[in-house]
Amino acid sequence: MSAPLERIGVLGGTFDPIHHGHLAAASEVCAALDLDRMLLVPTNVQPFKTDVTSAPAHHRLEMCRLAVKGDERFGVSAVDVDRGGVTYTVDTLRDLGREYPDAQLYFVTGADALERFSQWRDAHVLSTLATFVGVTRPGHSLGQSDTPHSLVEVPALAVSSTDVRRRVGAGAPIRYLVPRAVADYIAQHDLYSGGSDE
Ligand code: ATP
Ligand code: MG
């Protein structure tokens, strides 16, 4: 009898910065689908955000690494950052498929991102590369979609990276919205405040 396939979740995102909404979603999907682990995969350049200034990839990657410390289910993959250029999920999944040939991949997407699924590059082949898992997100509904995916209800956390960036810019607190180490990192490197360490 062959060993069961390893079940690996993949949560792609800009993670600019990573926050507790991401971590709660990742954790809930791990539990609901009985995954062995969950990889957070920061994008290099996001196709729908090419005009938005974001913190450089090395900072976003490092904040993800800090955020997952202490939870052995979670890991961080630099495949997208290392490949460079605009990040397309089809490339992410192909690269991870090569890296983990014996695993079943579960690609996790929040309700907001799923709304645009049909616009993703090579949308028709994506479902052959991974099982798509939609997660609930406050302010967005999981409507009719032509993608095969399972749905996981995540305890609602109405936090977004946009809000975290705005808060930093306005001097409002971000503690408890992001992990402590991430808040410290943002302060240390003067990210999102109009400072120059970018
Ligand atoms: P931004 O405001 O910059 O777009 P974001 O908070 O949406 O940032 P992303 O990096 O764009 O974060 O999201 C990565 C993935 O995590 C997406 O699939 C998104 O839908 C999902 N996600 C982000 N925040 C939440 C949340 N609070 N609850 C559930 N899913 C979330
Ligand atoms: Mg987003």
76, 40 Cβ separation under 8 angstroms: yes
Of 73-77, 119-123, 133-137, 194-198, the range with the lowest mean pLDDT is 194-198
Of 22, 114, 167, which is best to mutate to test ligand 1, by the most ligand atoms within 8 angstroms of its C-beta? 22
For 55, other C-beta atoms within 10 Å of its C-beta total: 22
Of the pLDDT bands very low, low, confident and very high (cuts 50, 70, 90), residue 47 is confident
Indicate the pLDDT class of residue 142, thresholds 50, 70 and 90.
Answer: confident
The pLDDT, as a whole number, for residue 120 is: 83
Q: What is the Å distance from ligand 2's center to 113 Cα?
A: 7
Residue bearing the CA closest to ligand 1, atom 6:
160
Structure tokens that stand for 10 in this block: 């993949």
Q: Cα(164)–Cα(144) distance, rounded to whole angstroms?
A: 30
Check if the beta carbon of residue 43 is closer than 8 Å to that of residue 91. no
Q: 3-class DSSP state for residue 58?
A: helix
CA 160–ligand 2 middle distance (angstroms): 7
Question: Considering only CA atoms, which residue is closest to atom 14 of ligand 1?
Answer: 13
Ligand 1: residues within 6 Å at CB?
Answer: 13-16, 21-22, 25, 109-110, 112-113, 135, 137, 154, 157, 159-162
CA of 7 to the centre of ligand 2 (A): 25
159 — pLDDT class (breaks 50, 70, 90): very high
For tokens 């990040």, name the residue.
87
Residue 46 Cα: closest atom of ligand 1: 11
Distance 15 CA to ligand 1 centre (A): 8
Task: With a cut of 70, say whether residue 145 has pLDDT above it.
Answer: no
Per-residue pLDDT, averaged over 157-181, amounts to 97
Give the ligand whose atoms come closest to the C-alpha of residue 192: 1
pLDDT of 1 above 80:
no
pLDDT score at 132: 92
